Amino acid sequence: MRNHILTIEDQPDIRRLIRMTLEFKRYQVSEADNGAEGLRLARLSPPDLILLDVMMPGISGLTVSRELAQDARLRHIPVVMLSALGQVDDIEAGLATGARAYLVKPFSPWELLELMERLLADAGEVTP
C-alpha cells in the first residue's frame, strides 16, 4: 500500500522538489498551494502524513496545524512543518501547534524521506 502524503506549500519549486522526491519512493502525493486548500483536501481525503509550510499567504501553516490538531478525524495525522525560519523560538512555535516535526529549509530530500519514514512507522502506517 502506498502512503498518501499531502504537501501544503505556496512555492511551486519546493512543491515540485517534494513531489519528485516522494514519487521516486512511490508515495501518493496531493498538493495544495495555500492553507485553506490544504485544510479542504485533508478533510476531503485524510492523508497519512502532511508536509506543511509555515509562511504562506492567507492562512499560515501554524494556523493550519492548530486546526488539524483540533479536528478529531485529523489530529492523528503526523504533520511536518517546513520553514526557512530556523530559530529556536520558531521551531518551538511550530511544535506547539501539534506538529510532530519541524524541518528547516533548505533540507535534503533524503533527510525529508528519513524523517517521514520514521513518523509513518511511529504512526503505524505502512511505508512504500
Report whether pLDDT(128) > 70: no
Is-cis flag, bond preceding 106, omega within 30?
yes
Please report the pLDDT score of residue 125 as a whole number.
61
Residue 128 placed within a domain? no
Structure confidence by residue, pLDDT tens digits, 15-36: 999 999 999 999 999 999 999 9
Residue 18 placed within a domain? yes
The enclosing domain of 104 has a CATH number of 3.40.50.2300
Residue 95 placed within a domain? yes
Nearest to 113 by CA among 24, 31, 41, 53: 24
How far is 64 from 67, CA to CA, in rounded Å? Answer: 5
Number of domains in the chain: 1
Residue 86 placed within a domain? yes
Please report the pLDDT score of residue 126 as a whole number.
54
Residue with cell 502525493: 29
How far is 103 from 112, CA to CA, in rounded Å? Answer: 8
Report whether pLDDT(127) > 70: no
Report whether pLDDT(124) > 90: no
Residue-number span of the structural domain to which 80 is assigned: 4-122
Structure confidence by residue, pLDDT tens digits, 39-95: 999 999 999 999 999 999 899 999 999 999 999 999 999 999 999 999 999 999 999
Nearest to 2 by CA among 38, 41, 47, 45: 47
Residue 83 placed within a domain? yes
Structure confidence by residue, pLDDT tens digits, 103-123: 999 999 999 999 999 999 998
Residue 88 placed within a domain? yes
Contact (CB, 8 A) for 99 and 81 = yes
Q: pTM score > 0.85 for this model?
A: yes
Residue 127 placed within a domain? no
Please report the pLDDT score of residue 59 as a whole number.
95
End-to-end CA distance of the chain: 7
